[in-house]
Structures are given as C-alpha cells and as structure tokens.
Structure 1
Amino acid sequence: MENADIKYLKVLATQYPNIAAAATEIVNLKAILSLPKATEHFITDVHGEYEQFRHVMCNGSGAVQRKIEDEFGSSLGIPEKRTLATLIYYPELKIKQIEGKLTQRENLEDWYKVTIFRLIRVCKNASSKYTRSKVRKSLPKDFAYIIEELMTGRPDVADQEAYYNEIINSVIHTGRAAQLIIDFCYLVRRFTVDHLHVVGDIFDRGPYPHLIMDDLMTHHSVDIQWGNHDILWMGAAAGSVPCMCNMLRISARYGNLAILEDAYGINMIPLMRLAIDCYQGHTSKTFNVHVRDDDKEYDRDYAEMDAMMHKAITIIQFKVEGQLIKKHPEWNMKERLLLDKIDYKQGTIKLGGKEYPLNDTYFPTIDPKDPYKLTHEEEDVVERLKNSFLGSERLQRHIRFLYTKGSLYKVYNGNLLYHGCVPLNEDGSFMKVRIFDKTYSGKALYDILEHYARKGYYSIDPQEKQRGEDILWFIWKNKHSPVFGKERMATFERYFIDATETHEEPKNAYYRLFEKEEIVDKILKEFGLPVQGAHIINGHIPVIVKKGESPVKCGGKLLVIDGGFSKAYQPKTGIAGYTLIYNSYGLVLAAHEPFTSMEDTVLNETCIHSHIVMEQNVVKRKTVNDTDTGKVLRENIAELEELLQAYRSGMLVEKF
C-alpha cells in the first residue's frame, strides 16, 4: 500500500476508530444505496412571475397530489383530497379560512384531529424513501420530538394508542395545533421533492424576481443553470455598464423600474432627471411600457415618466455597447454598430444596402460625428447608477447566491441541463469560438465562459475583472454565446424600424438539428454522458404550442421545458409553462394552464390545470445506487472496506 493511501486511512480512522464503527457505517451506506431515488423537480424561465412560481413549488408540479392519491386512494372523497392538497400548498391561509368557518370549538378540535392524522399518513408516505437520520434532521426544531413520535408511533397497537392520542390532544389543548399542521405541511412538501433544478431566467419581465430569489435562498436543495437574463443581472451587479443598461431598459419596458427602487434600493432619480431634461414630450409609442390591461399593480400615472426613462437608458445602452464592440473586434459584432449608420438629417438608416425610415428621430444626446460618446450628463447618470448597483446589499446577496448555486450547465444523475444551446455549425459540428487569444467549442466553450463570468464578479485583479465583465455582456448578446444562440439581437431595429424583416433573429443551427439523434448523442458524449438513458433538459426558447410545437425532441432524449411561464409569453405560447419531475419511476413532463391567484386557489380549492405531455417510465425502479450520490457512497464504502482490512491486518491499531 502506498504511503499516501496509509496517510488517508489514518485520517479516516479518526472518524471510524475501530472495526465496529467502520463496519456499522458500511452497513448504513449499503442500506442507503437500496433506497428509492429521490424526486427531482425541474423548472425554467420563471421571469419574475412569483405567484405562479410559488404555486408550482408548493404543489411540486402535481407530486403532492400524487402522494395524497397514493396514500388514500378511494378511502377519501375528491373534495376531502382537494382540501388536504390546498392545505399543504398554503397552510396559513387555509387554516385561517377553516377557523373562520368552524366557529364551534368542538368542531374545530375535531378538524384539527382528523387533519393531523391525515397529514401524518401523507408525511410518512413522502418520507419513506429517506433514512431516519435524514428525516430527523429535516424536522422543525419546535416540534421535532412530537412529529417523530407521531410518525414512528403505532396508534393501531393497544399499548401505544392512548399515548399517541394524548400527544395530539395535548397539542390541541395548548393551542399549538395550527402551527403543528403548518409544520407538517412544509414537511410533506420538503419530502415530496428532494431537489430543485432551475434551468435559467429567474429575472426580467415579471415584477418579482427578488421574491423568487428570497424563496430559493431558503430552499433545502437547489441548483441553477444561468440563463441569459440571469447573466445580465449578474453583470449589472458586477459593475458591467452595458449589462446594467440592458437590464434597466428591460425593466423600464415592462414597468418594473419602481420594483428596482423598492426591492433593491436602486436610485432612479439621476436617470429620471436626465429623461426629463432630454426627452420630455419627445417619446414615441416605441417606448411605451408593456403592461397587460389587467395588470392592477402598475401605476399608470407613471407611464409617461417611465417612457422617457426608457428612451434615455436605451440610447445610453447603444452607446456603451458600441464602445465595447469597438474594444473587442475579435467578437465579430461590427454589424451591430448602428448609431453611425444613421442619416440624422434625413431620419433614415442604411442596413444591408437598403435604406429604412426611422420611426423616432429625436436624438438630442447623440453627436453624429461621435455617436458612441456619452454626454457629461449621461456619464454622470451611468456612474451614479453603477454605484447604486454595487452598493445594493440585497442585490449583491442574491447574485452571490446565483454564483454559489449556479453554473452555465450541470450534469446531474444522468441528465445534462443548460439554458440555451451548444453552438453548432450547419453541418452539426461544434462551432469554434474565439475567447481572447484561444478558440473553444462544445463543453470547453461553456467552461471558459463560466470561468470568466466568475472572474467578472470575484477577481481582485482589475484587468482580469474587466475581462470578466466584458465576457458577461458577451454571454448575454453575442451570436456565439450558448445562452443566447441567435445570429443577432435586433433591439435597435425593433425600437426604431417598422419594417418587420429587420426584426428577425435567426437561431443557431442547434435549433434546426436537435431532432437528429446523432447530434443529440454527440452532445451527450461531449459532456461525458451515455447516449442511452441520458437526457438533455433545455430552457430558453418558448415552445409555441399554438403552432403545434412539442417540447419533446429527438424521441424524448431532449426536452425543451420553456412553455411560457412568464405572462408576457403566454399569449404567444398558448400555455403557462412546462415543469418536469424525475423520480424513481422515471420522467413526467407536465404542461400548465395560467395561474389565477393564491387567494382563488385557497378559497375555491382550485389548482393549476395541468396535463401530462410525456411520461417515460424506467424498466426497473431507480435507487440511490443509480444516482450521482450513489457513486459517491460506493467510493466511501470502498474506502471503509480498505480501512477494515487495515485494522484486521494490523496495519492500523483500533481505538476504543
């Protein structure tokens, strides 16, 4: 045995000092390997839609309802099962509603007893795939002893019946029944879904990304694959001015500037003053705020001001992006330098050899001789906004969490997760992309972009940090970026040119080739996955159900689970998003109808109407042994068996 191995075994021996301790742990780990694989939940492109996000999280995309059905079957009627499900989703609100109806104390106490008994059964069912140790660690501190006794007790046995019932009666009489029920509901949800994957785009469009981030930061187990809109916010928080301007423009477009002020403390006054000074009375309909007619939260008294701020930050964005494009000619984005293509006297622009009239020709801050130069006033606004972003404690906390729990892609339990695409040429080969002084493709391209994205936020070397900040914008907007995956972002054309042929944003060849099995297999191999049994879980591009598109590609090997979670997309897609459940029996892909409100769900006991789009069942039920965790546990077992051998051979001496 090598000296390094002996040293490692000596370290391991400090934790397992004798044969009994090592053997017991081997038994424990081998037993864990035989448990059913825990349930994974996949969600993507939530775009700040907090209420729908929260509801899908609470019901586990139908997983909670399935647990109730498994446990009670026909022994409970549909109304009782619906009430129980609603209680588990929103316990505080549902209990308040029930307590308001059951004014008689005896009736309320009976409801407490029945409900607690039912929740115990559902919780035992949901927790059955975990070890006693893991269940115990998940219990709420205040009720840990009580819940453990109720879940492990045997009320059907005469010796325990009185003890079991007295626990419940005492909880009710001490006025703690409601809180016990709430904690049981959270436990059911905790045990029903073991791990959450967010496949990108938490931010932009919807108004409450900060609430989604707050919830994710308290989630027991989560990973995030960065989407292009997440990258934008990460860049803004890192200090990238082009990213910041893009983010502010999108916030202005969807009426969310007030949210930035209220949620993150971003000072909008400098931008507001610039907008009033330069654009008051000179904004076209192009810059009108995009809010739904039924949106009651947006204060329309601010619509004109938001339009002026929208235009002000848009012009600044085109200027600072132009400066960055000139700085990096190797990015091949020269065609996106458009401010110098405008004929400011005629109010036209020349694109592709054709001249187009502009629908807005009022540009008081643009110098035609040097169109990408910021005015002194614009420079001041940019500097103040940047300092506000860097100084926002809540924003920085959220972005650090994104960096800690996130990545551009993830390989997890035989699945490859990413938000956009793997850039391909038309012949299906991996596109070679130059990043500074080297070229990369496939997995290596993802890796180098993530490397620089982290430098953009964390590096203490000013030059390396600046490179990272620049790459964050590259990831957001360059045609070679995996999370963008289009020939160009036609922002200028969509704002200023009415001719729709200029608005087209051709997609990367990936989106024309991902139905070919040889292409999907090639990508799986590139990321170290087998071609049989593995899947690609993909976000970013909404599936247009109205046009007959399907999220299931390449015979089920690739699943595009963006179906319009954001309300801004739902008129286009025809549904309100897809979610994916991966449990020990296989994969279940569900499509969801739009969510009304939490209050409506509780009051009328309605749930998002969902239907199964695809169900892939495994031949043999998967266990922990089939997962990434299982691989780690098998390695641990092998090391412990070496330790046992070392004890038995006399190489190491036991301690007692």
Structure 2
Amino acid sequence: MKSDKTDNNREKRDYRYLKLLHMRYGTIRKASEEIINLNAILNLPKGTEHFLSDIHGEYESFIHILKNASGVIKSKIDMVFEHTLPESERKSLATLIYYPEEKLEIIKEDIEDLDEWYTLTLHRLIEVCKVSASKYTRSVVRKALPEGFGYIIDELLHSQDYEMDKNEYYKQIVETIIKIGRADAFIIAMSNLIQRLAIARLHIIGDIYDRGPGAPIIMDTLMNHHSVDIQWGNHDIEWMGASFGSMACIANVIRLSSKFDNMNTIEGEYGISVRPLAIFAMEAYAEDDCEQFIPRHIDVTEYSKHDEKLISKIHKAITIIQFKLEGQVIKRHPEYKMEGRLLLDKIDYDKGTIIIDGKEYELVDKNFPTIDPENPYELTDDELEVMERLRTAFMTSERLKKHMYFMCERGSIYNSYNSNLMFHGCIPMTPSGNFATVDIFGKKLRGKKLFDEIDRKVRQGMKVKNGTSEHSDVEDLLWYLWCGPKSPLFGKDKITTFEQYFIDEPKLHIEKKNPYYANVEKRDICIKILKEFGLSPAMSHIINGHVPVEIKKGQSPIKAGGKLFVIDGGLSKGYHPKTGIAGYTLLYNSHGLILTSHEPFESKQKAIMEELDIHSKTVVLEKAGKRKMVADIDEGEVIKEQIKDLEDLLEAYRDGTIKQAQ
C-alpha cells in the first residue's frame, strides 16, 4: 500500500512540473491552442524514413541517393505531372532538383526564351514542393524555409486555385523574381527545400568508412542533415578507436587505406601525415618487392611504378605492425579468447612455414625483416617511434575529432525507432538460438543488456583522459568491437587477415558467421529478439547491414517472412561483382515499407549531363492496411503525453490550483 508521504511527494513533483509548463503556456487560451495544434499534428501522415547501410566511402552514390531520396522525389514529380508532362521533361525536372546549380548552367546555354522557361520551371517547382510539404505542419515547413525567400515561398506554397482575387498577386511574385535576376537563386532554394522535405528522418545502419574515397565528405553531409541517426558499424568503430588513440585500430585504418589505394582520406582529408611510416617502410623493405601488398583498384596509367611500390611497402610495413599490436592486445585480455589469432610465434622463420591447428603451411611471403623470432610481438624502436607519431597525429586531427564526436553523439550500437530495431551486425547467439554471453570488463552480459553496456562504455570512454588505465581499456574495447569473435559489430568467429595475406589456402580464409545469421532466418527467433528489446513482434522489424546480400547466389534481403531486412546490397564498388547490384535502401512512409535495389551509379557528371538517374527497382515489402499517421508512431506517443500534461494544466487553471498569467 502506498504511503501518504509517497503521494504527497508525487503531488509536489507534479505541481512543480505544471508550474514549469505554466511558464510557457500561461493562460487557458495558450494551453488550449497548443492542445488543438498537437491534436491536429497527430492526424498528419507519418513522415518518410530513409534507411541506408554500408556506404564505405562511396560518396557520389551516397549523395545521389540522398538527393533523389531513393526515388521519392521522382515519384512526387510523376504524381503531379504524369498526365501533363512527357517523361523526358519529368526527368529533366528531377535532375534540376537534384543538382540545381550545375544543371542551371547547362540549361541556360540552350534555352532561347529564358524568361518563359523560368516561369514554367518556377510554377512546376512550387507544385512539387506543395506535395512534398503536405505531410508537415505549416510551422515545420516555415522552419525549413531558406533564408531570403522564406516569406515568398510560404506565400506561394499556400496559394490556392480558387483564390481568384490573389491570382495576380502570385503571378507578380513569380514575374518579379525573374525580373530582378533572382530566378536562379530561387530555383536552387526551392530544389534544396524539396530535397529537405522529401525525407523526415535518415537512418544510417553502419559502415560509413573504409574502401571508397569519400567518408569525410559523407560525414560532412550527415553533419548538415536536418534529422539523422547512425548505428555504428565495425568500420566506424575502428575509426573511432583510431581517433581515440588505439594503435591497433590506427594500424588497421592505415592498412585498409593502403590496401584500397585510399591514403588521401588520411592525408588529404584529415591532414594526418604518413611520411614517417613511408620513410620507415622504404628503408625496412628496401629489398622487398611486396607483391602481395599491391593495392587494389589502382590505375597504373595514372600512377607511376614508384608510387605503386611505395604504397605496397607502406601496406606491408603497417600490416606487420598491426599483427604485433593486435598480439599485444590479445595477451592483455585473455577474456577475449582470441589466442588463435596469435600467429607470429607459430612461424618457422628459417623455413618460411607456419603451423595452424597442427598442420604446416608454406608462406607465400617469407620476408620478415622487422620481426624478432624470439619476441615476435614486440615493435622495433623504429616501429614504435612511427606509431607514436601516428597516434599523436590521429588524436590531434581537428576534422577527424569533429567527425568522431558527431559519430559518438548521433550514433549508437542500436536504435529503436517507430517499431523498427536497427543495428549493424548481429546479436551474438549460440547455435541453438539463445543469446550468447560476452565478457565486458568483467561483466558477463547478453542480449539487450550487452548492447546497452557496450553503448555506455563507448560513450563514456570517448571522454576519459588520455594516459589513464581507463583510456587504455577503452582503446582495447574499441579494437575488440572492430574484430572480436563475439563483437556484435563484427559477427564472425575470427578475422583471417594474416591467412589472406600469407597463406594460399582458401579454407583458411573463411570467417565463419555468428549463429545469429542462420537463426534469424526463423521467424520465432526474430520475434524473440524484438521482445528482448521491448518491441511488439506484430508491428516491428529488424533492420541490419554488414553482410552483403549476394543476389547472384539467390540470396534475399528479406528474412523470416518479413520480420528482418538486410539492406547491405554492396554500395561499395568492390562488392558489385559479388552482390550483382549496387546497394539496397529502405523507405518507410505512411503507406508501408518499400525496399529499393540500385544499379551502379556511373557518375555525378553523367547524372547531370545525360539526366541518368540510378536505375532502381522497388518492392513493396509491407503495405499498411490503414495509412499510418503521426498518432501511430513514437512521435505520436510523445505528443499524446504532452497533450495529457496540458490538459492537467488546464484543470489546474480551472480549479484554481495555478493562477493564469496576467
């Protein structure tokens, strides 16, 4: 039975809260207006959510998909003009909206009567913008309006055909915009507004970094986005670890950048000099051709043989350093259970062979000038100096620091949003479908508790002081999350980097997926996961990235009868031959869920010059029986609570508990 003291405390707390609410809504009239406004919002259609995964630095494809909203903008153009404009003109209008500045320059060279074109185009943009704005309240649209044209656009968006008395007024607005030479700026502003209104929320399901050349450009784009969340991928956490000072993560970042001929991300974009490493590599591997380390995707017509050799030597030097550093981490943490990755001490350096699982294999590269067979995991003095200088450079790069702060603040290991559970990799499982136990700093955790603890440790850890034992522990945790056997972000039993470089035996290159990936083919397992995270199994879905869906092998992105969707279709160019497509994206609008598969994006130039959009195919995954409104989603639950609080405030005004403002 509740005590009188508990009830009194609650009453005092509620009274204090109502007094705070009173400061904003000081009268019955103001509180009533807000209740009416909030109730109206509940009856708007839910905004469109856009899900992307595994971007891997492919910034041109990413930005184009963002600009066309996976076909949303083209569909709105078709909705408005399907019966009045030919397909060629609708395509041209779409390209103008995607790339207004560039497309305007091309169009203006060919148009004879520019004023007439401006007039037609402005009216068409206004009509498309009206449709795009229809899901939002007028106040929300006003906040999104561009500076300089806010009032004008607001007027034009809310013009109606039946307002005969105002027709001349609206006509004069358009004519004046053209007359005073502001048509180009207005078209650009309208196009950007349409892009802004097309998507209410953007979800990135991990792996922004590595492979492609434009991760920093993607991060800049996300930082300027109006509404975005990120679920960390293993490649993202690797970069977070590098910025935090983990030498093992730094070595992995540089190795992958050299492997995929992407050193410009480190040096050009983040201003981190690898010159100390280059000098060391040229000296230590002077007599080594490093054939196993020639970078991928390198165009030898654009690179000199000297450049190719230098990158190959850097690649090998950092790879050996990586194995040493990783060995040190593994030895510090027996709880990681990664002793099987300690391979440098299994090499017979005289014979050039290695023993793995009791079997001897010949190494394809037998030259290890920097490894001491007696202490194979110890860095040489030169290697240690190189790594200390690189560590300082990574930790002091202002742009990298800014991007990783944003990654930490807007990111998380998982997200539950509007009945969708999003995470990049997996929930560690046993073959029988139970949640596997993972040791995190002495805590043995599983399922949601594991995710929450990892999220808390990463978020807190990114703020601890450098040089402390806590800092070192977090460095190692971030590395483990990148490649550990029970890491939810990695999702495999081991990372076979050494074998792939040094042993010509395909069976040793296999990285076995966590049992999660087999288990989630079953509907009951997905339902179990959704319940674990407090979601209704009937209404909810799991959205994953991380493992590319290989269409060529008959794989499907739809699992467990539509309870789980894998949206990694291989946006990265390196995956195209494997997957057969160039990425999946997912849309969730008021009508349901739509999966879009994309063909490779040729280039921004072709998209503008030839009006080539990404060729995409859409599949309706789930159609809402009744159109989803704001009242049906998470935002609606928050608004309903706000309405209840305001109703309590009204009651307090009416019974005299709180006086209205004068």
Asked if 1:145 corresponds to 2:147, the answer is no
Equivalent position of 1:355 in the other structure: 360
Q: For 1:517 and 1:69, how far apart are their aligned partners in 2?
A: 37
Q: For 2:327 and 2:361, how far apart are their aligned partners in 1?
A: 21
Equivalent position of 1:611 in the other structure: 617
Equivalent position of 1:436 in the other structure: 441
Letter matched to residue 318 of structure 1? F
Equivalent position of 1:623 in the other structure: 629
Counterpart secondary structure, 2:241: helix
Shift of residue 455 of structure 1? 3.2
Counterpart secondary structure, 2:649: helix
Alignment match of 1:337 (pick from 332, 336, 342): 342
CA 165–528 in structure 1, closer or farther in 2 if over 3 Å, else same: same
Equivalent position of 1:154 in the other structure: 160
Asked if 1:38 corresponds to 2:44, the answer is no
User: Quick check: 1:420–1:538 contact (8 Å CA) kept in 2?
Assistant: yes
Q: CA-to-partner distance for each residue in 1:208-237, whole Å, 9 max, x for gaps?
A: 101111111100100000000000000000
Counterpart secondary structure, 1:197: strand
Q: How does 1:383-532 map to 2 (within 5 A)?
A: 383-460=388-465, 462-532=468-538
User: Quick check: 1:456–1:466 contact (8 Å CA) kept in 2?
Assistant: no
Q: For 1:441 and 1:100, how far apart are their aligned partners in 2?
A: 63
Counterpart secondary structure, 1:149: helix
Equivalent position of 1:367 in the other structure: 372
Comparing 297-306 and 420-429, the one that deviates more: 297-306
Shift of residue 299 of structure 1? 6.6
Comparing 439-448 and 71-80, the one that deviates more: 71-80
User: Quick check: 1:457–1:469 contact (8 Å CA) kept in 2?
Assistant: no
Q: For 2:298 and 2:534, how far apart are their aligned partners in 1?
A: 45
Shift of residue 404 of structure 1? 1.0
Counterpart secondary structure, 2:365: coil
Asked if 1:112 corresponds to 2:99, the answer is no
Percent identity at matched positions? 50
CA 140–338 in structure 1, closer or farther in 2 if over 3 Å, else same: same
Q: For 2:264 and 2:104, how far apart are their aligned partners in 1?
A: 34
Alignment match of 1:565 (pick from 571, 592, 603): 571
User: Quick check: 1:414–1:533 contact (8 Å CA) kept in 2?
Assistant: yes
User: Quick check: 1:154–1:164 contact (8 Å CA) kept in 2?
Assistant: no
Q: For 1:592 and 1:582, how far apart are their aligned partners in 2?
A: 17
Q: TM-score normalised to the size of structure 1?
A: 0.98
Counterpart secondary structure, 2:83: helix
CA 195–300 in structure 1, closer or farther in 2 if over 3 Å, else same: farther
Letter matched to residue 83 of structure 2? S
Counterpart secondary structure, 2:574: coil
Shift of residue 292 of structure 1? 5.8
Counterpart secondary structure, 1:142: coil
Q: For 2:54 and 2:289, how far apart are their aligned partners in 1?
A: 31
Alignment match of 1:101 (pick from 90, 98, 110): 110
Q: For 1:201 and 1:303, how far apart are their aligned partners in 2?
A: 27
Equivalent position of 2:175 in the other structure: 169
Alignment match of 2:204 (pick from 175, 198, 203): 198
Letter matched to residue 110 of structure 1? E
Q: CA-to-partner distance for each residue in 1:595-647, whole Å, 9 max, x for gaps?
A: 00111111111111111244311100000011111111111111100000000
Equivalent position of 2:219 in the other structure: 213
Alignment match of 1:50 (pick from 59, 83, 86): 59
Alignment match of 1:324 (pick from 302, 324, 329): 329
Letter matched to residue 120 of structure 1? I
Shift of residue 533 of structure 1? 1.6
Counterpart secondary structure, 2:51: strand
User: Quick check: 2:53–2:204 contact (8 Å CA) kept in 1?
Assistant: yes
Asked if 1:85 corresponds to 2:90, the answer is no
Comparing 157-166 and 233-242, the one that deviates more: 157-166
Q: For 2:302 and 2:481, how far apart are their aligned partners in 1?
A: 33
Q: For 1:528 and 1:279, how far apart are their aligned partners in 2?
A: 55
Q: For 1:77 and 1:540, how far apart are their aligned partners in 2?
A: 40
Counterpart secondary structure, 1:579: strand
Letter matched to residue 451 of structure 1? R
Shift of residue 153 of structure 1? 2.3
Shift of residue 476 of structure 1? 0.5
Counterpart secondary structure, 1:308: helix
Asked if 1:582 corresponds to 2:588, the answer is yes
Letter matched to residue 355 of structure 1? E
Counterpart secondary structure, 1:537: strand
Equivalent position of 2:296 in the other structure: 290
Q: For 1:533 and 1:589, how far apart are their aligned partners in 2?
A: 17
Shift of residue 469 of structure 1? 1.3
Shift of residue 18 of structure 1? 1.1
Shift of residue 285 of structure 1? 2.3
Equivalent position of 2:3 in the other structure: none
Q: For 1:651 and 1:449, how far apart are their aligned partners in 2?
A: 46
Q: CA-to-partner distance for each residue in 1:75-131, whole Å, 9 max, x for gaps?
A: 2211111111111111111111100112x3xx1111111000000000000101100
Asked if 1:6 corresponds to 2:11, the answer is no
Q: CA-to-partner distance for each residue in 1:496-536, whole Å, 9 max, x for gaps?
A: 00111111111000111111111000000011111112000
Q: CA-to-partner distance for each residue in 1:328-363, whole Å, 9 max, x for gaps?
A: 011101110000000000000000110000011111
Letter matched to residue 354 of structure 2? I
Asked if 1:64 corresponds to 2:78, the answer is no
Equivalent position of 2:253 in the other structure: 247
Q: For 1:297 and 1:77, how far apart are their aligned partners in 2?
A: 43
User: Quick check: 1:240–1:470 contact (8 Å CA) kept in 2?
Assistant: yes
Q: For 1:576 and 1:390, how far apart are their aligned partners in 2?
A: 34
User: Quick check: 1:283–1:311 contact (8 Å CA) kept in 2?
Assistant: no
Equivalent position of 1:551 in the other structure: 557
Letter matched to residue 399 of structure 1? M
Q: TM-score normalised to the size of structure 2?
A: 0.97
Q: For 1:254 and 1:361, how far apart are their aligned partners in 2?
A: 23
Shift of residue 155 of structure 1? 5.6
User: Quick check: 2:216–2:265 contact (8 Å CA) kept in 1?
Assistant: no
Q: For 1:616 and 1:518, how far apart are their aligned partners in 2?
A: 19
Q: For 2:651 and 2:265, how far apart are their aligned partners in 1?
A: 62
User: Quick check: 1:36–1:622 contact (8 Å CA) kept in 2?
Assistant: yes
Q: For 2:457 and 2:463, how far apart are their aligned partners in 1?
A: 10
Unaligned runs of 5+ in 1: none
Letter matched to residue 416 of structure 1? L
Shift of residue 460 of structure 1? 3.0
Letter matched to residue 356 of structure 1? Y
Equivalent position of 1:265 in the other structure: 271
Q: CA-to-partner distance for each residue in 1:444-475, whole Å, 9 max, x for gaps?
A: 11111122222332123822222111110110
Asked if 1:188 corresponds to 2:164, the answer is no
Shift of residue 157 of structure 1? 3.1
Letter matched to residue 202 of structure 2? L
Q: For 1:623 and 1:300, how far apart are their aligned partners in 2?
A: 60
Q: For 2:110 and 2:339, how far apart are their aligned partners in 1?
A: 67
Q: For 1:475 and 1:554, how far apart are their aligned partners in 2?
A: 27
CA 201–296 in structure 1, closer or farther in 2 if over 3 Å, else same: farther
Q: For 1:379 and 1:615, how far apart are their aligned partners in 2?
A: 53
Shift of residue 491 of structure 1? 0.2
Q: For 1:189 and 1:435, how far apart are their aligned partners in 2?
A: 42
User: Quick check: 2:592–2:620 contact (8 Å CA) kept in 1?
Assistant: no
Unaligned runs of 5+ in 2: 1-9
Shift of residue 239 of structure 1? 0.6
